[in-house]
Amino acid sequence: MVVAALAKAVEHALLRVELTLPQYRMLSVLAREDSPTASRVAWELSVMPATVTAVMDGLVAGKYVRREPDPHDRRKIALVITSEGRHLLATANEEIGRRLGELTSFLDGDQAKRAMDALALWREALASERQAEWVAREDARRKESR
């Protein structure tokens, strides 16, 4: 219940910058990954590659993302966040922070800090888990190809 309510608060903050939650999630992945492919983004977000393509088309049309030949495999296409995309993501993060700040105003100072620290810890745990899963997946692929 809490997670759904927080997601709704984030969605409302994103409306202020005319960004959908799926677009925000994809820009976030692109900002922290080095030129990922659509399949990597799909894996990161636990969605189908077709979903990535559909959302990415809008981000490309808005000039927030570019499609480029993958630097490691020319058969693949890499997705690269543009400076406009980084700016939009930063603005979205500011709006989300502002919205969370509005919510924490209903807590006392120590509670507000603990709530924000807890979110940061969850983000770290989730990112670490995802990275470990990716490494294990890539190791398994390498062993299969031998």
Same domain, 58 and 15: yes
Percent of the chain beyond pLDDT 70?
100
pLDDT grade, residue 111 (50/70/90)?
Answer: very high
Total count of domains within the chain: 2
CA separation for the pair 23, 14 (Å, rounded)? 10
Same domain, 14 and 83: yes
Same domain, 91 and 40: yes
- pTM for this predicted structure: 0.83
Range of the domain at 121: 108-141
Same domain, 100 and 51: yes
Residue 142 confidence (pLDDT) above 90: no
State pLDDT tens for residues 12-52: 999 999 999 999 999 999 998 887 888 889 988 989 989 99
Same domain, 48 and 113: no
Residue 5 confidence (pLDDT) above 80: yes
Residue ranges with strand state E in the chain: 65-69, 77-81
Q: Is 79 exposed, middle or buried (0-12, 13-18, 19+ CB in 10 A)?
A: buried
Residue 76 confidence (pLDDT) above 90: no
For residue 43, what is the domain's CATH number?
A: 1.10.10.10
Residue 144 confidence (pLDDT) above 90: no
Same domain, 32 and 70: yes
Position 38 in a domain:
yes
Same domain, 40 and 71: yes
Position 48 in a domain:
yes
pLDDT grade, residue 98 (50/70/90)?
Answer: very high
Integer distance in angstroms from the first to the last C-alpha of the chain?
46
Contacts of 47 (CB under 8 A, 6+ apart): none
pLDDT grade, residue 83 (50/70/90)?
Answer: very high
Pair 85, 49: CB distance under 8 Å: no
Same domain, 67 and 92: yes
Which two three-digit tokens encode residue 83?
Answer: 């400076």
Position 32 in a domain:
yes
| pLDDT for residue 127 | 84
Residue 130 confidence (pLDDT) above 90: no
Same domain, 72 and 126: no
Position 92 in a domain:
yes
State the average pLDDT over residues 95-123: 92
CA separation for the pair 92, 73 (Å, rounded)? 32
Position 146 in a domain:
no
At what angle are helices 21-32 and 2-15 packed, to 10 degrees?
90
